């Protein structure tokens, strides 16, 4: 069992990684909370015991239901059950579950404590850590949300044993990102150590920039490396591409764009492809996607400042780069087609 602390002054919390750590749930919940609302999805099949009165609340599967309507239904169900601010929410599932449950917890009674028990690799290394919650609008991904830090995160690697290969690969897309955010050879580590290393990298970034200061070019926004194109691809493909699959393509695209802007050399581009190949991830755009639509969608990205804005590698590491020329963004799309 490995514990990584996300250090946020008086609101620090543990992320526990290892086999069987779901059994720690009762211990990490507030002893004063009489009830626990467990938010999950049908088919996850990962039971937890909060050690007090509890009820399961299932939300729909699929990005199409990651909406304000789902949050409303969830909060109304909580109200009918009698959930109060003295109680606690437990999110058990992938990134969609922790995003929706976390946002609902942040909003209900203006804030109810939440514990995340991610059951996917993607959730363990990214979605459940750092307090970003939110839902989608038709106009873009995660455009409505809140910062709401959990009081604990339990990454039980037992949950990964039955994960579908494509779902596992999606998580590896996020893992690939961390290779370029810190000088750590993640491929040399076993799975639990690799998850903990990614959590540690993210925890350090979040501790230095919890709410993503738009003026901090090397702050929390660097965690969106590869995500500008990824989010556009998810929308353009109606989520046929999994998030991590889209991030992998986004990483290859970000490397191509950085090379075109003179920020990195061909050897660094090749390193991106080496890591993606090690995780057996595709680096090319799906055939038939509309480049005009992708550019328009990237322009709506929530971190956009002064035109097209990307997180790009460079001589000083990964950072936010605003005001990228549309012609360069379009040409880089051709580079990964």
The CATH number given to whatever domain includes residue 284 is 1.20.1090.10
Q: Which of 35, 220, 259, 260 is catalytic?
A: 220
- Identify whether 220 is a catalytic site residue: yes
CB atoms within 10 A of CB 14: 16
Q: Which two tokens stand for residue 10?
A: 């008086």
Select from 162, 183, 206 the last residue of a domain: 162
* Claim to verify: residue 219 and residue 140 sit in the same structural domain: no
| Residue 331 domain flag | yes
For 110, the domain range is 2-162
* Claim to verify: residue 7 and residue 146 sit in the same structural domain: yes
Is-contact 29 49, C-beta < 8 A? no
- Identify whether 141 is a catalytic site residue: no
Please give the pLDDT value at position 63: 87
| Residue 169 domain flag | no
- Identify whether 7 is a catalytic site residue: no
| Residue 185 domain flag | no
* Claim to verify: residue 43 and residue 118 sit in the same structural domain: yes
* Claim to verify: residue 94 and residue 227 sit in the same structural domain: no
Closest CA to 88 of 69, 101, 71, 73: 101
| Residue 302 domain flag | yes
| Residue 28 domain flag | yes
Residue 25, domain CATH: 3.40.50.1970
Select from 162, 192, 222 the last residue of a domain: 162
Number of folded domains that form the chain: 2
Which residues lie closer than 8 Å to 313 by C-beta, 6 or more apart?
180, 225, 254, 255, 258, 263, 264, 268
* Stretch (H or E) spanning 198: helix 191-208
Q: Which of 202, 242, 263, 272 is catalytic?
A: 202
- Identify whether 142 is a catalytic site residue: no
| Residue 179 domain flag | no
* Claim to verify: residue 156 and residue 247 sit in the same structural domain: no
- Identify whether 66 is a catalytic site residue: no
Please give the pLDDT value at position 304: 66
Q: Can you give the pLDDT of all 337 residues of the chain as single tens digits?
A: 999 999 997 789 999 999 999 999 999 999 999 999 999 999 898 999 999 999 999 999 988 899 999 999 999 999 999 999 999 999 999 999 999 999 999 999 999 999 999 999 999 999 999 999 999 998 888 889 999 999 999 999 999 998 888 989 999 999 999 999 987 789 999 999 999 999 999 999 999 988 888 777 888 999 999 999 999 999 999 889 999 999 999 999 999 999 999 999 999 999 999 999 999 999 999 999 999 999 999 998 766 666 899 999 999 999 999 999 999 999 999 999 9
Q: To which residue do tokens 């596992």 refer?
A: 168
Cα 11 from Cα 186, distance rounded (Å): 28
* Claim to verify: residue 130 and residue 14 sit in the same structural domain: yes
Please give the pLDDT value at position 302: 66
| Residue 173 domain flag | no
Select from 140, 162, 184 the last residue of a domain: 162
| Residue 53 domain flag | yes
Cα 153 from Cα 160, distance rounded (Å): 16
């Amino acid at each position: 069992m490995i514990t990584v602390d996300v250090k946020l002054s008086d609101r620090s919390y543990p992320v526990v990684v290892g086999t069987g750590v779901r059994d720690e749930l009762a211990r990490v919940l507030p002893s004063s909370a009489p009830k626990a609302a467990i938010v999950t999805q049908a088919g996850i099949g990962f039971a937890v015991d909060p050690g007090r009165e509890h009820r399961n609340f299932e939300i729909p599967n699929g990005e199409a239901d990651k909406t304000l309507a789902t949050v409303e239904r969830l909060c109304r169900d909580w109200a009918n059950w009698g959930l109060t601010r003295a109680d606690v929410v437990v999110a058990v599932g992938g990134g969609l579950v922790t995003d929706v449950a976390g946002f609902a917890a942040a909003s209900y009674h203006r804030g109810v404590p939440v514990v995340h028990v991610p059951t996917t690799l993607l959730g363990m290394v990214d979605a459940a850590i750092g307090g970003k919650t939110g839902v989608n609008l038709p106009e873009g991904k995660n455009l409505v949300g809140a910062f709401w830090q959990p009081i604990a995160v339990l990454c039980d690697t037992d949950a990964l044993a039955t994960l579908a290969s494509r779902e596992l690969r999606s998580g590896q897309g996020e893992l690939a990102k961390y290779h370029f955010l810190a000088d750590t050879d993640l491929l040399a580590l076993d799975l639990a150590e690799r998850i903990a290393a990614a959590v540690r990298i993210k925890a350090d970034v979040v501790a230095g920039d919890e709410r993503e200061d738009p003026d901090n070019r090397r702050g929390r926004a660097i965690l969106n490396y590869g995500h500008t194109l990824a989010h556009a691809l998810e929308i353009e493909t109606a989520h046929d591409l999994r998030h991590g699959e889209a991030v992998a393509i986004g990483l290859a695209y970000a490397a191509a764009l950085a090379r075109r802007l003179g920020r990195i050399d061909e050897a660094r581009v090749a390193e991106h492809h080496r890591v993606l190949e090690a995780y057996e991830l595709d680096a090319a755009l799906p055939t038939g996607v509309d480049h005009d639509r992708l550019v328009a969608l990237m322009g709506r990205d929530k971190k956009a400042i002064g035109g097209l804005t990307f997180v790009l590698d460079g001589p000083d590491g990964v950072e936010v780069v605003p005001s990228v020329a549309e012609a360069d963004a379009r040409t880089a799309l051709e580079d990964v087609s």
